[in-house]
Amino acid sequence: MQLQGKIVVASQHYPPDPSTTAAIMAEIACRLAEEHEVVVLSGSPGALPASQTGTDKPRVIAVKNRMAGKAALVRRGLSELLFVLRIFVALLRQLRRADVVLTVTAPFILPYAVAAAAWLKGARSALIMHDLFPDVLVMAGLLKPHSIVAGAMRAANSLMFRALNAVITIGRDAERPLLSYSGMTRSKVRFIPNWATLAPAARPVTSGNPFRKTLAARFIVGLSGNLGFTHDPEIVFEAARLLSDEVDIHFLLSGWGIGFERLKQLQADANLPNVSFVARVKDAELEAFLAAADIWIIPYRKDVAGVSVPSRFYNLLAVGRPVVLVSEPEAEAALTVVENGLGWVVTPGRADQLAAAIRAASASCDGAMAERAVKAASKFDRSVAMNAYAALIDELLRNPNLPEQR
């Protein structure tokens, strides 16, 4: 029997936006639409792909949104504020008592508006926490940990977490910082990790790979995806510099964001012989690109634990590649690496450790690591995650107060 109440998904990023967040929110919305009426408030204009249209798909309402570049912080902030205000008004129009609204932490002020609108309309609210603010801004060096702004954001978080009915974490390390807020209880927390979008299977390293065949080095170190404020481009470049005399090791870099702009600037100044850049890779070429490298780097700044989880991580495992993760050992991805023997975890800010790990990986002949990576990726399955989201929404439709999980 279909439960009463509809689902409203509020997200700045949704197809045709090509971002990972857009793909995740679309997957969830489409799965929920199999059993419920789903309305998506989207900040991504344009025609939906064919896979997102049809009678059994969510109804998508475009909310006016003008996004400035990530480096234009003031203009971007104003644009996001206007977008969130429009979402708030749209939610007041759409929500009815006992509806459920699902959102995500992008932009970071969106969850506050969603929680407030749901509270005003007597609806239930759930947040997928990809990043924890203000911790992300403190980690990136944009805020002082004890500043007035950081304090105000934490006070707002306490109110928001009290109003929310559920908080979905994608990392086990997120529960501890969440429970430090007075408005949070363990019963509200649900751990649903992200999933690999590529089928788990070890892809062999071949000289004919289109991204590899122009490189003479035997061992390729890859870096891919968005490098935002929480990532450290300098540690990658410094490790490349430390390894620049080792002709068998080459760095293959592709992505976007302020961190990649910094990497390009550093390379323009130094012109290291062991560093190559590739334009942002399209989805259709992602599998070939990830298979081009022997190992992949995920370079976080310090204090990442409980703050952010790299979505790209699972696809790296799916193609059977080890990783070198720069983060604290208690972070979710680091726990997965160590528990499953998938690579190396190095201390943030220590380029010498990163270079040493890459050197050790290049000398390693541990073919079993690829098998372990594929096996680990198989645990992060799309259908398992989708069923977990569906079960949570059903719980919220029945009762706004979730029972504590055993």
Per-residue pLDDT tens over the stretch 342-363: 999 999 999 999 999 999 999 9
pLDDT for res 256: 87
Residue 1 counted as domain residue: no
pLDDT at residue 229 in the model: 82
Residues spanned by the domain of 113: 7-195+381-398
Residues 185 and 247 in one domain: no
**pLDDT above 90 covers what percent of the chain?**
68
The CATH number linked to 149 is 3.40.50.2000
The answer to whether position 211 is within a domain reads: no
Same domain, yes or no, for 237 and 118? no
Given a cut of 90, is residue 131 above it in pLDDT? Answer: no
Residue range 81-105, pLDDT digits in tens:
999 999 999 999 999 998 999 999 9
Whether 35 maps to a domain, the answer reads yes
- Checking if the pLDDT of 1 tops 50, the result is no
Same structural domain, 174 and 44: yes
In tens, the pLDDT along 177-219 reads 999 998 899 999 999 999 988 999 999 988 889 999 889 999 9
At 12, is the pLDDT very low, low, confident or very high (cuts 50, 70, 90)? very high
User: What pLDDT score does 69 carry?
Assistant: 59
In a domain, 404, yes or no: no
For the segment 17-31, the average pLDDT, to the nearest whole number, is 90
Between 52 and 161, the more confident residue is 161
Residues 144, 17 share a domain: yes
For 10-16, what is the mean pLDDT? 94
Chain-centre distance for alpha carbon 369: 24
Is position 328 within any domain?
Answer: yes
Judge whether 237 and 263 are in contact, CB under 8 Å.
yes
The verdict on residue 206 lying in a domain is no
Q: Classify residue 213: in a domain, yes or no.
A: no
pLDDT at 406: 61
* Residue 339 and residue 276 share a domain: yes
Same domain, 87 and 114: yes
Render pLDDT for 220-275 as a digit per residue (tens, 0 to 9): 999 998 888 889 999 999 999 999 999 999 999 998 888 999 999 999 999 999 99
Number of domains in the chain: 2
Burial of 240 (0-12, 13-18, 19+ CB in 10 A): buried
Average per-residue pLDDT for the chain: 91
Q: Are residues 360 and 385 in the same domain?
A: no
**In whole angstroms, what is the distance from residue 215 CA to residue 171 CA?**
36
Q: Are both 179 and 253 inside the same structural domain?
A: no
Verify that 385 and 370 share a domain, yes or no: no
How do residues 137-187 score in pLDDT, each as one tens digit? 888 888 898 999 999 999 999 999 999 999 999 988 889 999 999 889 999
Residue 65 sits at φ, ψ, to 5 deg, of -155, 125
- Whole-number pLDDT of residue 307: 77
Question: Quick one: 239 and 365 in the same domain?
Answer: yes
Task: Look up residue 65 and give its amino acid.
Answer: N
Q: Give residue 72's pLDDT.
A: 61
Cα separation, 354 vs 302, whole angstroms: 14
Q: Is residue 209 part of a domain?
A: no
Q: Same structural domain for residues 307 and 162? A: no
Cis before 16 (ω within 30):
yes
Residue 68 has pLDDT above 70, yes or no: no
Q: What is the mean pLDDT of residues 73-79?
A: 76
Task: Tell me: do 341 and 390 sit in the same domain.
Answer: no
126 vs 174 pLDDT, higher one: 126
